[in-house]
Structures are given as C-alpha cells and as structure tokens.
Amino acid sequence: DVKVTQSSRYLVKRTGEKVFLECVQDMDHENMFWYRQDPGLGLRLIYFSYDVKMKEKGDIPEGYSVSREKKERFSLILESASTNQTSMYLCASCSGGDYEQYFGPGTRLTVT
Amino acid sequence: GIQVEQSPPDLILQEGANSTLRCNFSDSVNNLQWFHQNPWGQLINLFYIPSGTKQNGRLSATTVATERYSLLYISSSQTTDSGVYFCAVGQGNTPLVFGKGTRLSVIA
C-alpha cells in the first residue's frame, strides 16, 4: 500500500513564525504536490515537484516555498506565517508512469 | 485551464437508497480520480478511472472520456458513506484539478 505521511495532524502557530510542513512518501514516487483546502474555495495547488531539487509554482505560491532534497520528502515552508494561511494542507504523490495520486492525512494549520 | 463541475452540490439520502454523482470536465484528460473525504479531512482514493467502468463493492464508476464526463454510483447507501466526494482530473502526471465536490448526507 502506498503511504503518504505528514508531520502533524494539527498545528497552531503565531503570526510571523516560520513554519515547516513535512510530507514523506514510501513508494519511490517521482512527483509530489502540496495543496491547500479552504471552505468555498476547494483544493488549490501551491507547489509541486517532479524530481529531487526541482520545484514548480502552482496556482497560489505567494507566501510559501518548498524544499525537496530527497526523493521521498517534500517540505512546505511558510516563511512568515499570516492568519490568511490558516487552512488544511494536503500533500500528494504519484509515480512518473502511473498517474494515480495518493494523499496524506492532511495538516490543519491555525495561525493566530 | 481545465474546468471541473460536479453535481449535485449537496445530496441527502435515506439509508439504503442509491445515488449517482456526476463530474463534467472541459478538456481531454488521461487522469481522472474519485475521492471520498472522510470526517478527519483525508482524501481516500475510490477510483482511478480515466475511461471505462470499474466496480468496488457498492461503489462503481464510469467515465466516458469522449463526452467528458464521469459518474459515481453508490448503491444501498450507508451512514458511513456520508462526506464529500471529489472528482479530480489531470493530463499525465500534472497536478490534479478538483471539482468543488458533492456533499452527501446519509440518514438512518
């Protein structure tokens, strides 16, 4: 079974803090993705990566950066957290040849 | 970009009833997935179905790629089927584009 794990299920941070959200997959997938989900706005793509050290901006990259130093790990970084980044963050991965994406359990981030 | 529309937005069923959820998309795709979001927020894979028909227990799905739609059938619904069902499409290994979901409530 494909397993995608995320470092925290719930996280509370203060405005201005630097926040790291970690995602790890155990299926040697080349492609990894970060989405956020907000009521009324659905799921929106933040960043994605097709390979180690590669990254591509999604639809809403402002205020975020990413890091992919190892194939299995894709980190989302909030450089200076703001209240409008309070959201559900979902990580996904898929292989290069089989396009089915698998999601982690999500991290509910609250910025106060 | 690709547009994805799901209908209906909300659905209330009596336990034991059947239902059909629809997903329309605006361009050709070679990736189409159906997900169920559980109460804790996790997206559970139901079907990977860019074309054809698949069945898994009480659930089945059909995608008619040439007509740009997919249907998810739920038979003999149970209260545990409640939640939000998402359709998502893509082209190859590109990021998925999600519909806004169908919120299903199954009442006993």
pLDDT in tens, B32-73: 999 999 888 889 999 999 999 999 999 999 999 999 999 999
Report the pLDDT value the prediction gives residue B38, as an integer from 0 to 100: 87
Chain B contact set for A100 (CB, 8 A): 31, 33, 45, 48
The 3-state DSSP class for residue A14 equals coil
**Alpha carbon distance, N-terminus to C-terminus of chain A:** 37
Chain B contact set for A92 (CB, 8 A): 43, 96
Residue that wins the pLDDT comparison between A77 and B95: A77
Report the pLDDT value the prediction gives residue A2, as an integer from 0 to 100: 67
CA pair distance B19, B73, nearest whole angstrom: 6
Chain A contact set for B88 (CB, 8 A): 43, 101
CA pair distance A99, A59, nearest whole angstrom: 20
Residue A23 clears pLDDT 90, i.e. is over it: yes
B92 and A99: CB-CB below 8 Å? Answer: yes
Q: What angle do CA A67, B33, A33 make, to 5 degrees?
A: 5
A112: exposed, middle or buried (C-beta count within 10 Å: 0-12, 13-18, 19+)?
Answer: exposed
Say if CB A47 and CB A76 are below 8 A apart. yes
Q: Is B25 on the interface with A (CB under 8 A)?
A: no
> Measured between CB atoms, which of A42, A90, A96 is closest to B93?
A96
Chain A contact set for B33 (CB, 8 A): 100-101
B residues 77..96 contacting A (CB < 8 A): 86, 88, 90, 92-93, 95-96
Residue B19 clears pLDDT 80, i.e. is over it: yes
Residue that wins the pLDDT comparison between A75 and A42: A75
CA pair distance B51, A93, nearest whole angstrom: 21
